[in-house]
Amino acid sequence: MRSTFIRIFTTALLSLAIPFLTTAQSVDDITPRPVEVIKEARGHVTIDGKAHIVFDKQFGAQADFLKEMLSAQTGLNLPAYPNTPDKPKASHHIRLVFDNKTIDKAEMYTLTVSGKDVTIRAKDTGGMVYGIQTLLQLFPLKQVREVKIPDVHIKDYPRFSYRGMHLDVVRHMFPVEFIKKYIDYLAFHKFNTFHWHLTDDQGWRIEIESYPKLNTISSWRKETLIGHFKDEPARYDGTRYGGYYTKDEILEVINYASVRGINIIPEIDIPGHSRATIAAYPELSTRPDTTWNVATTWGMYNRQNNVLQPNPATFQFLETVFKEVADLFPYEYFHLGGDETSKKWWKADPVSQQFIKDHNLKDEKGLQTYFVEQVAGYLAAKGKKVIGWHEILEGDLSTSTLIMNWGGEKEGITAATRGHQVIMAPGKPLYFDHYQSKDPNDSLAIHGYNPLDAVYNFEPIPAALRERKLDHYIIGAQANLWTEYIGSEAKVEYMVFPRMTALSEVLWSPAEKKNFTDFKRRLNTAIIPRYTFWKAKYFPNFEQWTADK
Ligand code: TNX
């Protein structure tokens, strides 16, 4: 009796605490800025708990996604029904419509708030997800019972077809739950690609059945460096570190990402960055008689041997492993690394030198190209195309390979001029493992200075390419997050926010719509509250630290 009374009493109190009617967030706060917003000053659509989500059959998973996101954000629990003649009636709807007539571009959507309904039109998963993200930005970030969304018509599509964020899970590994959260961060910002850096000198993070020692040995390092790798003397934490994602976990992530319109690019980094591999299988190294450790420090390039030897066992290994991984990931592109392959270990190795002679290769750069083309061939047999870091251009390479350029404009121009499609990922300003302030007390980063305005003002297409009408070779850009000095989820968030939000506008919005002052206004009114809603950390001093400091 008493408990029933308390229950009724608390329910009454709770419903008083939930505002009955709340106005929507301003359409001027949508980030990244849409292509076209037409405000129709006439009326509004009221969405309360009695409204229905109605979806065309292509968008069932996105209807569930909207339902879940809306409920978490506002407490409104709307039922979702397929768009069939016998669907239950409601006075207001959020309609998810498949439309390949008015929607004439990939990843495009329109969002119309008018009459009794909110209608999102798209012809692909990406477009629908982005329309949903925009709509969610029109709802308040708090529990409500009813929202009035002012009439509006939004037409929106991306400036670039490749919009990526990378995460290194080798130097530090993050649980599947966080990988999903990271994918949610990407989807909110209308990115479409998650580049998953899965192997490196310090570990192997994906389950492989054909070479089990990759998981029993390569996935684990004895200990980890403390502080910066240039500190003297080097100190280590004495704690074994490692792990790997099982195939089931990877499939779970793939499914999660696909509902959100995110493609995943897995990276297996060869023929350098292979110290963890040769620790398990020394016969693949230039010194098969050596016992290698899985690296415990950072910055191995030219300092410690981490390259594969060109021998039959190595190519057998590459073919088997790349095919096994290719079977897991359903996407068109596969990243084979190719960065920072030190040539000195090949120079010092008679077997590598003999291989170069026997195969009429020019030199060690030619050998690097040989590795890339072998792997590209294995993957082509699986219907995949390859992406590599720009160093793979050092030799002559077939132009079907997509280049991910972490150098500057110069390397991007070279790659495009040679007829390669290019993803721009220049260290300056798109390495988010670099500092975002010059405050000596800022959290440890690798080096560099990439403040928020430098990211916001980044233009992916070099002027020289535009002048020569080669700009279409630049398909987009990506920020990289190497995690040598990023050991926690909170630090990941601190390093990416708000720089990732700035990059989203570079990649999505028309260049002429960009405005840094307005962007900072939106950060304060809408985006920082969103980070807070996510309980995500972010770097707060972006006003103070600018490129001219
Ligand atoms: C270079 S960029 C690397 C990574 C490091 C990074 C640190 C690239 C393709 N390779 O292995 O983590 O620098 O910023």
CATH code, domain with 115: 3.30.379.10
Instruction: Dig out the tokens for 107 from the structure.
Output: 């990843």
Q: Which of 134, 156, 178 is the last residue of a domain?
A: 156
Asked if 241 and 270 touch (Cβ cutoff 8 Å), the reply is no
Give residue 428 CA to ligand 1 midpoint distance, Å. 13
More confident residue, 259 or 5: 259
User: For 531-537, what is the mean pLDDT?
Assistant: 98
pLDDT at 257: 98
User: For 327-344, what is the mean pLDDT?
Assistant: 97
Instruction: Dig out the tokens for 230 from the structure.
Output: 């240039």
- Which residue, judged by its Cα, is nearest atom 9 of ligand 1? 339
| Best mutation site among 340, 444, 485 for ligand 1 pocket (most ligand atoms within 8 Å of CB) | 340
Cis peptide before 79 (omega within 30 of 0): no
Question: Is 7 within the bounds of a domain?
Answer: no
**pTM across the whole model:** 0.96
pLDDT at 17: 61
Number of independent structural domains in the chain: 2
Asked if 221 and 242 touch (Cβ cutoff 8 Å), the reply is yes
Residues 167 and 150 in one domain: no
Number of the ligand 1 atom closest to the C-alpha atom of 337: 9
Catalytically active residues are 340
Q: Which residues lie below 8 Å from residue 7, measured CB to CB, with a gap of 6+?
A: none
Residues 89 and 134 in one domain: yes
Question: Is 230 within the bounds of a domain?
Answer: yes
For the chain, counts of helices (H) and of strands (E): 19, 22
Domain that holds residue 225: 162-534
Q: In whole angstroms, how far apart are CA 370 and each of 100, 270, 362, 404, 418?
A: 43, 12, 11, 18, 18
41 pLDDT higher than 80: no
Give residue 478 CA to ligand 1 midpoint distance, Å. 14
CA atoms within 13 A on the CB side of 397: 35
- Which residue, judged by its Cα, is nearest atom 5 of ligand 1? 482
Residues 496 and 519 in one domain: yes
13 pLDDT higher than 80: no
Residues 255 and 379 in one domain: yes
Residues 36 and 134 in one domain: yes
Which of 9, 294, 38 is CA-nearest to residue 170? 294
Which of 14, 48, 32, 408 is CA-nearest to residue 189? 32
5 pLDDT higher than 70: no
Mean of pLDDT over the chain: 95
Number of the ligand 1 atom closest to the C-alpha atom of 200: 11
Q: Which of 105, 135, 156 is the last residue of a domain?
A: 156
Number of the ligand 1 atom closest to the C-alpha atom of 447: 14
Residues 492 and 419 in one domain: yes
Give residue 295 CA to ligand 1 midpoint distance, Å. 15
Q: Which residues lie below 8 Å from residue 18, measured CB to CB, with a gap of 6+?
A: 75, 143, 144, 145
Give residue 273 CA to ligand 1 midpoint distance, Å. 10
| Best mutation site among 339, 446, 450 for ligand 1 pocket (most ligand atoms within 8 Å of CB) | 339
Residues 151 and 170 in one domain: no
Asked if 529 and 26 touch (Cβ cutoff 8 Å), the reply is no
Please report, for the domain that includes residue 474, its CATH number: 3.20.20.80
C-alpha 374/C-alpha 12 separation (Å) is: 69
Asked if 225 and 298 touch (Cβ cutoff 8 Å), the reply is yes
pLDDT at 24: 75
User: How much of the chain, in percent, has pLDDT values that exceed 70?
Assistant: 97
Give residue 356 CA to ligand 1 midpoint distance, Å. 27
Q: Which residues lie below 8 Å from residue 37, measured CB to CB, with a gap of 6+?
A: 27, 30, 152, 153, 154
Instruction: Dig out the tokens for 533 from the structure.
Output: 């809603």
312 pLDDT higher than 70: yes
Residues 203 and 259 in one domain: yes
Give residue 433 CA to ligand 1 midpoint distance, Å. 10
Number of the ligand 1 atom closest to the C-alpha atom of 171: 12
Residue type, 276: A
C-alpha 237/C-alpha 97 separation (Å) is: 55
Instruction: Dig out the tokens for 59 from the structure.
Output: 């968008």
User: For 425-451, what is the mean pLDDT?
Assistant: 98
Q: Which residues line ligand 1 (CB under 6 A)?
A: 339-340, 389, 406, 431, 433, 446, 482, 484
Predicted confidence band of residue 496 (pLDDT cuts 50, 70, 90): very high
- Which residue, judged by its Cα, is nearest atom 8 of ligand 1? 339
Question: Is 2 within the bounds of a domain?
Answer: no
| Best mutation site among 482, 483, 495 for ligand 1 pocket (most ligand atoms within 8 Å of CB) | 482
Residues 318 and 443 in one domain: yes
Question: Is 8 within the bounds of a domain?
Answer: no
Place of tokens 């390092």: 221
Q: In whole angstroms, how far apart are CA 72 and each of 69, 141, 158, 179, 401?
A: 5, 9, 27, 19, 42
C-alpha 365/C-alpha 375 separation (Å) is: 16
Host H or E run for residue 333: strand 333-337
304 pLDDT higher than 90: yes
User: For 73-83, what is the mean pLDDT?
Assistant: 98
User: For 407-426, what is the mean pLDDT?
Assistant: 97
Place of tokens 């008493």: 2
User: For 264-276, what is the mean pLDDT?
Assistant: 98
Number of the ligand 1 atom closest to the C-alpha atom of 431: 14
User: For 132-153, what is the mean pLDDT?
Assistant: 96
Residues 73 and 183 in one domain: no
Q: Which of 156, 178, 210 is the last residue of a domain?
A: 156
Residues 320 and 412 in one domain: yes
Predicted confidence band of residue 163 (pLDDT cuts 50, 70, 90): very high
- Which residue, judged by its Cα, is nearest atom 7 of ligand 1? 482
Q: What are phi and psi of 34, to 5 degrees?
A: -70, 165
Cis peptide before 271 (omega within 30 of 0): yes
Question: Is 10 within the bounds of a domain?
Answer: no
Question: Is 548 within the bounds of a domain?
Answer: no
Question: Is 352 within the bounds of a domain?
Answer: yes
Give residue 482 CA to ligand 1 midpoint distance, Å. 7
1 pLDDT higher than 50: no
Number of the ligand 1 atom closest to the C-alpha atom of 273: 11
Residues 298 and 430 in one domain: yes
Give residue 346 CA to ligand 1 midpoint distance, Å. 21
pLDDT at 533: 97
